[in-house]
Chain A
Amino acid sequence: MSTERARDRRAAFRAGQRTILLALPGSAAWALISGVAMVKGGLTVPWALAMTLSVYGASAQLAALPLIVAGAPLWVIIATGFITNLRFVIYSAAIRPYFAHESVAKRAGLSFFMTDFAFTFFMRAVQENRLPERHRDAWFAGMAANNWITWQTCACIGVIGASYIPIDWGLEFTGTLALVALAGPALNSRPALAGGVIAAAVALVAHGLPYKLGLFCGALAGIAAAMLADRTPRDTEAVA
């Protein structure tokens, strides 16, 4: 009985690993570039490695970097990182229902690995009904493991090889393109389109806000717009 359960869990883990396979080159390119950026931005190799391995959140790391180099007050740097990370609160709320029955330790473990990539792929599997009914934790772990190994390997290569990797010919743009590849397939309904457009517009307008608040404001406004757009067609369907 327990061997059957173990086999099911392994199968779920491997299904999770497979689901993110095609996105790993995007993750790899972005990791490499953020590794290079850490060192070119002014961190020494040991500190850059420590940061990559312990934070595991490129956007907060890259937001903090210029402040570290400029010698900003510690609380300003940490506050900037925190506000850049506020979108993870939204992710955390979105993903919570699927792991409500798991232990606190396991939920804390999953939290550490919930990057933009892991979250987006999880939600895509939810939308396409590919998420297994049981052993979702193993499925998430498989996906997160592949993403983590790829990210850390390439980020460390980027940190160590920073002086040999030319970042000036626009390679850093692949990071943005990897996010485009994640977002594109999700623009498949009216609420998603409304949310995406409003989020982009608000993020542009609010870009000047301190502590990278524009990103969070854009995300919140987008979700609110999607919520409004979501209600309208369902009401008309109910009437028809």
Chain B
Amino acid sequence: MSGAIGGFALGIVIAGLALSTFLTRGSFLIAGARLRLHPRVESALRYAPVCTLAAIIAPNVLLDGGAHLDVSLMNPRLIGVLGAGLWLCWSRNMVGCLASGMLAFTLARVYLAGHLP
């Protein structure tokens, strides 16, 4: 831990992260009409939520930390997402989605722990 950043430098890092978060969130909102976008691009932005979320979720689920792609049923996170997805097919309730996803994930992990060499 001797290399870890602390004290004043850590304060600078946190201030920098706070500023970058605020400025990116504020970019277009604060600039207002001064930044222009093509109308077609502007209308495609309603797909921004689903695209960004997919880009966050996929590596979390299918990559095991590094670059190893695991799209098999031996991947408990994939089983968990499938469980959550099944729930979402008939309800939007987020608690149920988390519960069924965690249940599928945990069952898969327990099963795999008992069946792996």
Contacts and interface: CB of A to CB of B under 8 A. Distances in A.
Interface of A: 22-23, 25-26, 29, 42, 47, 50-51, 54-57, 59-61, 64, 68-72, 74, 77-78, 81-82, 85-97, 99-100, 104, 107-108, 110-112, 114, 116, 119-120, 123-124, 126-127, 169-170, 173-174, 176-187, 191-192, 195-204, 207-208, 214-219, 222-224, 226-227, 230-231
Interface in B40-64: 40-63
Contacts of B24: 82, 85-89, 92
A114 B92 CA distance: 22
Contact of B81 (A22, A87, A176): A176
- Chain B residues touching A, majority SS: helix
Contact of B48 (A50, A78, A94, A179): A94
A201 B58 CA distance: 8
Contact of A74 (B13, B40, B51): B13
Contacts of A86: 24
Contacts of A208: 67
B20 A82 contact: yes
B17 A64 contact: yes
Interface range for B: 35 or more
Nearest to A194: B47
A223 B49 contact: no
Contacts of A91: 25, 48, 52
Contacts of A50: 14
B117 interface: no
Nearest to A98: B29
B55 A183 contact: no
Contact of B14 (A47, A59, A174, A215): A47
Given A185-B88, A204-B63, 17 more contacts: A25-B95, A51-B14, A54-B15, A55-B18, A57-B17, A68-B13, A78-B13, A92-B29, A100-B32, A107-B26, A174-B101, A178-B98, A199-B55, A207-B59, A215-B59, A222-B54, A226-B47
